[in-house]
């Protein structure tokens, strides 16, 4: 009983030090919007990192974004084709709807409810819940993403991943024009 308490207590302390939202970038950045980040053809590489175990899952992606509609009521559709290092592939499509200046909502095949997108101070915050599929099954995860553009124009998507409200992992997705 005492051993179980110590293990659970140690795990709780380790997780307590984990952030629930990504930190602001430390280097120089340039302003970015959802449309400028995801419109057009893009390619990217990324990694999921589980904090407790150090396990990593790497992926590459091809993105194709298309904007329709008039300013203030635009729709941005982004098709994402993923290939994971374990051999799994997946195609997911975001549909973002502009709801006001710097405000969007989004859905994807795996989201639970709508994602919330805020463009502010030249950066994008994206939060959503998704049923994440892997070779071992489906897991409901929360995502809190910070998307920004480096000075060289490369888009960085840093995310904190939570399970049952507890931060458990991080993801970094580096996106370039194709």
Q: What is the pLDDT of residue 6?
A: 32
Q: Which pLDDT belongs to residue 26?
A: 80
Helices (H), the chain: 2-16, 34-38
Predicted local distance difference test score (pLDDT) of residue 10: 40
- Residue 61's DSSP bridge partners are 44, 82
* SS3 readout for 97-133: EEEECCEEEEECCCECCCEEEEEECCEEEEEEEEEEE
All structural domains of the chain, each given as residue ranges with its CATH number in brackets, are 2-177 (2.40.128.20)
Whole-number Å distance between alpha carbons of 30 and 123: 9
- Rounded to whole angstroms, the Cα distance separating 156 from 101 reads 22
**pLDDT the model gives residue 18:** 52
The pLDDT of residue 69 is 97
Tens of pLDDT along the chain (178 residues)?
444 333 333 444 344 445 678 888 887 799 999 999 999 999 999 999 999 999 999 999 999 999 999 999 999 999 999 999 999 999 999 999 999 999 999 999 999 999 999 999 999 999 999 998 888 899 999 999 999 999 999 999 999 999 999 999 999 999 999 9
């Amino acid at each position: 009983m005492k051993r179980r308490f110590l293990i659970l207590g140690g795990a709780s302390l380790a997780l307590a030090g984990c952030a629930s939202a990504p930190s602001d970038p430390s280097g120089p950045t340039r302003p970015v919007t959802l449309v400028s980040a995801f419109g057009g053809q893009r390619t990217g590489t990324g990694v999921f990192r589980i904090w407790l175990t150090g396990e990593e899952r790497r992926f590459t992606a091809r993105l194709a974004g298309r904007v329709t509609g008039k300013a203030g009521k635009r729709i941005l559709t982004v098709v994402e084709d993923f290939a994971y290092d374990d051999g799994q592939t997946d195609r997911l499509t975001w549909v973002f709807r502009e709801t006001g200046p710097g405000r969007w909502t989004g859905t994807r095949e795996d989201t639970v409810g709508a994602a919330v997108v805020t463009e502010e101070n030249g950066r994008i915050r994206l939060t959503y819940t998704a049923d994440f599929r892997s070779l071992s099954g489906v897991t409901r995860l929360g995502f809190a993403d910070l998307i920004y553009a480096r000075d060289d124009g490369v888009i960085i998507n840093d995310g904190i991943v939570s399970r049952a409200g507890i931060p458990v992992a991080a993801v970094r997705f580096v996106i370039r024009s194709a």
